[in-house]
């Protein structure tokens, strides 16, 4: 399916459009026990038998901690203007409390210095899912499974951590992202349990979502207090492009219900200072939302300098029928519990057409729709595509080269959709490819490859794929070329 019409010539992007690539600390750094770092919830989860494909862990990942300089030189060779990376909370503040470990901060100081020396803008994310394990287990003497994001104190701990990192790096880093995809942290971590910490409690997932929102607001305040005037604050969401399977009232209500849980649970308080009334009604049988305290929504609605959007595939839903088992092709793993509290009778469908190695439908219209929706809902707020990409079965050929025409076609179609949104008025400022290189893909371990750079997980050798060279040309020229013959757009 495609909503991006063929063009007769290259598509120019605005001057100053930021071209980058992204990674996350636990997925790339390794060095899990070096420099004072203590376990995160993902260390604990990945070391729990049966939680991650192949028993894989991020203990070594792609060894970015030791290969930092080599990787920055690779970014420079690919012509990247920016690198979006995350800081490992337990590397900087191992217990989630108290002073920083300077050895941990030193790694990020050196990384930022290397990036700046190569003319690459650092774009820092404070949280990409690696909560210190001690915070997950700590509720001041309670049970070992009762802390983490469902516990209000975690939001304040996050603000304290944000201030520590801002004091260390604020003189060199302009763009700061508080959270990456809080939906995944809340609903995959505490709802379905397919992500760390692996809990399955719908009420706890809703509490976690609110406390993540609160953590963003408190951290944004802490960043404003610590950063110089040029500092910029944003958050990266993964809003869903939800589509009803039909136009029946029942299917449209399923669409509304999932849109509230996937998107408006975050954009409501962030942009308007209120949770959607229909969300509260849909989940009233699970919680009375008394964990939302006076003043919380004012804190959450802290002014943003930009909004990040992560997009991979749309979501197709319908109303369930009778009491038969419902399909749940929602792209978020096959956990025994649903990550959609209050939506037990919503069915999720796999649309026809091309799919990636993740089984995700290839459909750039979803990206266009989200960009235009957020442009309408938050006029004047700059937007960044902070993640977009695809996993395919990439293998080196006999000469060691890695050809991935499917990924080039995927990226071309989605960049064309982004350009169409720009043409139609969206204030889109930049695009970050997911991912710079193959890495630890969460519950899928090392079985899925998203990188523009191939990594041999045994030798750690890096090889730019054909998509990496293609994307480098886009970044250097600031234009999207006509798709080459033989590479049909999805």
- What is d(CA 8, CA 15) in angstroms, rounded to the nearest whole number? 21
Which single residue is written with the structure tokens 């350009």? Answer: 419
* DSSP assignment string, 243-259: EESSSSHHHHHHHHHHH
Structure tokens, 194: 């397919």
Structure tokens, 271: 């942009």
Structure tokens, 346: 């919503």
Name 388's bridge partners. Answer: none
DSSP 483: P
Q: Write down the pTM of the prediction.
A: 0.96
Name 306's bridge partners. Answer: 234
For 438, 442, 443, the CA distances from 447, given in Å and listed in that order, are: 10, 10, 9
Q: Cis link prior to 348 (omega < 30° from 0)?
A: no
Query: Strands 383-387, 306-310: parallel, antiparallel or unpaired by DSSP?
Result: parallel
Query: Strands 383-387, 428-434: parallel, antiparallel or unpaired by DSSP?
Result: parallel
pLDDT of residue 379: 96
Collect all residues with Cβ–Cβ distance below 8 Å to 171 and sequence separation of at least 6: 228
Q: What is the pLDDT of residues 428-475, one digit of tens each?
A: 999 999 999 999 999 999 999 999 999 999 999 999 999 999 999 999
- What is d(CA 189, CA 183) in angstroms, rounded to the nearest whole number? 9
- What is d(CA 471, CA 475) in angstroms, rounded to the nearest whole number? 6
CB atoms under 10 Å from CB of 345, counted, come to 14
- What is d(CA 437, CA 433) in angstroms, rounded to the nearest whole number? 10
- What is d(CA 378, CA 284) in angstroms, rounded to the nearest whole number? 28
Find the helix packing angle between 68-77 and 102-117, rounded to 10°. Answer: 20
Q: How many residues does the chain have?
A: 490
pLDDT of residue 358: 97
Residue segments in the chain with a per-residue pLDDT below the cut of 70: 1-8, 138-146, 485-490
Query: Strands 453-455, 242-244: parallel, antiparallel or unpaired by DSSP?
Result: unpaired
SS3 453: strand
pLDDT of residue 8: 66
CB 388 within 8 A of CB 414: yes
DSSP 124: E
pLDDT of residue 349: 95
Query: Which of these, 364, 459, 378, 484, lies nearest to 414 by C-alpha position?
Result: 364
Give me the helices (H) in 170-260, please: 182-183, 202-226, 249-259
Collect all residues with Cβ–Cβ distance below 8 Å to 117 and sequence separation of at least 6: none
Half-sphere CA count of 275, side-chain side, radius 13 A = 24
Name 384's bridge partners. Answer: 308, 430
Query: Which of these, 144, 148, 201, lies nearest to 41 by C-alpha position?
Result: 148
Burial degree of 426 (CB within 10 A; 0-12, 13-18, 19+): buried
DSSP 264: I
Annotated catalytic sites, by residue? 181, 387
| C-alpha angle 287-201-161 in degrees, rounded to nearest 5 | 90
pLDDT of residue 138: 66
């Amino acid at each position: 399916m495609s909503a991006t019409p063929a063009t007769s010539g290259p598509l120019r992007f605005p001057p100053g459009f930021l071209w980058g690539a992204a990674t996350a600390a636990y997925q790339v750094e390794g060095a899990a026990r070096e420099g004072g770092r203590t376990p995160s919830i993902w260390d604990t989860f990945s070391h729990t038998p049966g939680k991650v494909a192949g028993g894989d862990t991020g203990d070594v990942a792609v060894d970015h901690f030791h290969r930092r300089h080599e990787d920055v030189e690779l970014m420079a060779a690919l012509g990247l203007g920016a690198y979006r990376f995350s800081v490992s909370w337990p590397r900087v503040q191992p217990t989630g409390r108290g002073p920083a470990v300077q050895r941990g901060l030193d790694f990020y100081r050196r990384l930022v210095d290397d990036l700046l020396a190569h003319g690459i803008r650092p774009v820092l994310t404070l949280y990409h899912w690696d909560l210190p394990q001690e915070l997950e287990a700590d509720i001041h003497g309670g049970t070992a499974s009762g802390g983490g994001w469902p516990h209000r104190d975690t939001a304040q701990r996050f603000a304290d951590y944000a201030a520590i990192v801002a004091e260390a790096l604020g003189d060199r880093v302009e763009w700061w992202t508080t959270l990456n995809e809080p939906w995944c942290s809340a609903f995959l971590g505490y709802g379905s349990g397919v992500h760390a910490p692996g809990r399955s409690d719908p009420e706890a997932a809703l509490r976690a979502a609110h406390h993540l929102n609160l953590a963003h607001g408190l951290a944004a305040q802490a960043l404003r207090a610590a950063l110089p005037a040029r500092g910029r604050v944003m958050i990266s969401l993964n809003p869903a492009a939800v589509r009803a399977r039909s136009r029946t009232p029942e299917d449209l209500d399923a669409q509304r219900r999932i849109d509230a849980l996937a998107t408006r649970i975050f954009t409501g308080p962030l942009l308007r200072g209120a949770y959607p009334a229909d969300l509260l009604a849909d989940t009233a049988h699970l919680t009375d939302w008394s964990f939302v305290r006076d003043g919380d929504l004012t804190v959450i609605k802290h002014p943003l300098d930009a909004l990040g959007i992560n997009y991979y595939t749309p979501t197709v839903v319908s109303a369930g029928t009778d009491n038969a088992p419902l399909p749940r092709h929602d792209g978020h793993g096959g956990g025994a519990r649903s990550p959609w509290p209050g939506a037990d009778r919503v069915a999720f469908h796999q649309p026809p057409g091309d799919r990636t190695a993740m089984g995700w439908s290839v459909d750039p219209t979803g990206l266009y729709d989200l960009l235009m929706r957020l442009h309408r809902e938050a006029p004047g707020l700059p937007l960044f595509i902070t993640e977009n990409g695809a996993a395919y079965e990439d293998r080196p050929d006999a000469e060691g080269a890695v050809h991935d025409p499917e990924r080039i076609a995927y990226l071309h179609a989605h960049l064309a959709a982004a350009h169409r949104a720009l043409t139609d008025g969206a204030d889109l400022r930049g695009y970050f490819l997911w991912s710079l290189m193959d890495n630890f893909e969460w519950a899928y371990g090392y079985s899925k490859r998203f990188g523009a750079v191939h990594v041999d997980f045994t030798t750690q050798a890096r090889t730019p794929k054909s998509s990496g060279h293609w994307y480098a040309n886009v970044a250097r020229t600031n234009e999207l070329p006509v798709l080459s013959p033989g590479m049909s757009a999805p």
